[in-house]
């Protein structure tokens, strides 16, 4: 059905302008498709048909492949954040399902303030979520003006990790798979980075590293981005990428007087990713964060976010998804095309099925 912005837009004097340049994210754009889920006894079930449709699509298969992925505990705003990423992507890039995009005014990608948030389902309780990996079934296309290289961008979400029912093995398997099949891995954390989270990251990455079977002197994975939600120390480190980089230095620093195990975790993380970044986001405000006040259904619009949060997600997404930062998947130093990548995914899934 149509979800065009309704007439109450007219309270806003720019509403007509907005409508001209903004197409809400509605049905024809795409859907989240489950591509991998956990069935019982640590077995995984893979949706090969969907993988073929995505990565072997004639418009996609020969392009360099960028897989933008988010991972972390459930109910921490991952899908919510990704849905704003989709808004950016639709406003900036053409896509397979929507060859007439992008919009004429990408600088207004966030759209009208009362626009309902669509995309990957967010806020749904853990009970009705599938555990596993989902991908947006519309693929974004970009041709570099400088190098003339063609890129395809796939957006990936992970579901149901670190809930009470998921075993540590399942968690690290999904985590490892997510790392293997992404080129930009956003690790979504709340509060501050803790030592056990770094150990966990090492554990899952080791798992992935073994499966990737790359040369031992190569960094097997591309970008890792720590995304810290509900940051409450802006007087120590500012919100955003710059404050995040400073904070990252403090927790990933390798020091001489550190315990050997703490040092080895840090070395391992540095040796596994070509690029490591961090961003700090403020608390979004009580309407977004929910709790008792969320009984009146909040639909994800940005009008009800704390202004600072809105400003920061806008800046962060502008940074993460701009053409310069579209990092394709690399294997042993070579950028992969989508169809080459699909062959790798296939192997990994077989490994993990055994």
Q: Rule CB under 6 A: choose which of 37, 75, 118, 173 binds ligand GDP.
A: 75
CB contact burial 28-40 (16+ within 10 A = b; e otherwise): ebbebbbbbbbee
Residues in the chain: 354
- Residue 233 contact, options ligand GDP, Mg ion, none, Cβ 5-8 Å cut-off depending on partner type: none
Task: Give CA torsion, residues 352, 69, 329, 331, to 10 deg.
Answer: -30
* Between 65 and 320, CB nearer to ligand GDP: 320
Tell me the closest approach of the beta carbon of residue 50 to ligand GDP, in angstroms: 20
- Residue 237 contact, options ligand GDP, Mg ion, none, Cβ 5-8 Å cut-off depending on partner type: none
Residue 97 in tokens:
């399902």
- Residue 61 contact, options ligand GDP, Mg ion, none, Cβ 5-8 Å cut-off depending on partner type: none
Cα 286 to Cα 289: distance, rounded to the nearest angstrom: 5
* Between 12 and 121, CB nearer to ligand GDP: 121
Contact 282, 306 (CB under 8 A): yes
- Residue 229 contact, options Mg ion, ligand GDP, none, Cβ 5-8 Å cut-off depending on partner type: ligand GDP
Q: Rule CB under 5 A: choose which of 23, 47, 69, 79 binds Mg ion.
A: 79
203-210: long-range contacts, CB 8 A cutoff, minimum separation 24 = 203/172, 204/171, 204/172, 204/175, 204/176, 204/179, 205/176, 205/179, 205/268, 205/269, 205/272, 206/268, 207/172, 207/173, 207/175, 207/176, 208/175, 208/176, 208/177, 208/179, 208/180, 209/272
DSSP 83: H
Based on the shown chain and the rule CB under 6 A, indicate whether residue 288 belongs to the binding site for ligand GDP. Answer: yes
Residue 141 in tokens:
């296309």
Cα 312 to Cα 94: distance, rounded to the nearest angstrom: 25
Contact 36, 71 (CB under 8 A): no
Tell me the closest approach of the beta carbon of residue 209 to ligand GDP, in angstroms: 25
Give the per-residue contact string, 86-125, with ligand GDP (x = CB under 6 A; - = no). ------------------------------------xx--
Residue 324 in tokens:
């310069």
* Residue whose C-beta lies closest to Mg ion: 79
* Residue whose C-beta lies closest to ligand GDP: 77
Strand partners, 223: 184, 275
Interacting stretch for ligand GDP, rule CB under 6 A, among 6-14, 78-86, 213-221, 243-251?
78-86
Exposed/middle/buried for residue 148 (C-beta within 10 Å: 0-12, 13-18, 19+) = exposed
Tell me the closest approach of the beta carbon of residue 135 to ligand GDP, in angstroms: 14
Based on the shown chain and the rule CB under 6 A, indicate whether residue 209 belongs to the binding site for ligand GDP. Answer: no
Based on the shown chain and the rule CB under 6 A, indicate whether residue 74 belongs to the binding site for ligand GDP. Answer: yes
* Between 93 and 120, CB nearer to ligand GDP: 120
- Residue 288 contact, options ligand GDP, Mg ion, none, Cβ 5-8 Å cut-off depending on partner type: ligand GDP
- Residue 202 contact, options Mg ion, ligand GDP, none, Cβ 5-8 Å cut-off depending on partner type: none
Q: Rule CB under 6 A: choose which of 79, 172, 183, 185 binds ligand GDP.
A: 79
Q: Residues interacting with Mg ion, by CB under 5 A?
A: 78-79
Q: Residues interacting with ligand GDP, by CB under 6 A?
A: 74-80, 122-123, 229-230, 281, 283-284, 288-290
């Amino acid at each position: 059905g149509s979800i065009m912005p309704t007439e109450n837009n007219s309270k806003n004097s720019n509403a007509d302008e907005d409508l001209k340049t903004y197409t809400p994210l509605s049905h024809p754009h795409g859907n989240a498709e489950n591509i991998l889920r956990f069935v019982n006894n640590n077995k995984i079930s893979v949706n090969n048909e969907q993988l073929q449709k995505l990565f072997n699509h004639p418009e996609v298969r020969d392009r360099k492949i960028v897989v933008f992925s988010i991972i972390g505990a459930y109910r921490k705003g991952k899908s919510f954040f990704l849905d704003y990423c989709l808004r950016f992507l639709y406003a900036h890039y053409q896509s397979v399902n929507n060859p007439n995009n992008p919009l004429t005014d990408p600088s207004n990608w966030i759209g009208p303030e009362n626009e309902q948030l669509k995309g990957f389902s967010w806020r749904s309780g853990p009970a009705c979520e599938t555990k596993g990996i989902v991908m947006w079934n519309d693929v974004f296309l970009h041709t570099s003006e400088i190098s003339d290289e063609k890129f395809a961008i796939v957006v990936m979400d992970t579901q149901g990790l670190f809930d009470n029912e998921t075993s540590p093995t399942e968690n690290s398997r999904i985590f490892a798979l997510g790392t293997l099949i992404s080129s930009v891995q956003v690790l979504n954390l709340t509060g501050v980075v803790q030592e056990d989270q770094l150990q966990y990251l090492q554990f899952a990455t080791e798992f992935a590293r073994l499966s990737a079977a790359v040369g031992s002197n190569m960094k097997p994975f591309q970008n890792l981005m720590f995304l810290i939600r509900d940051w409450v120390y802006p007087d120590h480190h500012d919100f955003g990428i710059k404050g995040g980089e400073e904070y990252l230095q403090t927790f990933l620093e390798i020091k001489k007087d550190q315990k050997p195990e703490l040092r080895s975790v840090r070395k391992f993380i540095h040796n596994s990713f070509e690029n490591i970044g961090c961003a700090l986001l403020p608390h979004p405000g009580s309407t977004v964060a929910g709790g008792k006040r969320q009984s009146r259904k909040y639909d994800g619009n940005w009008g009800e976010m704390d202004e600072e949060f809105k400003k920061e997600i806008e800046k962060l997404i502008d940074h993460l998804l701009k053409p310069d930062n579209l990092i394709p998947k690399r294997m042993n130093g070579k950028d992969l095309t989508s169809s080459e990548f699909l062959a790798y995914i296939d192997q990994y899934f077989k490994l993990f099925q055994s």
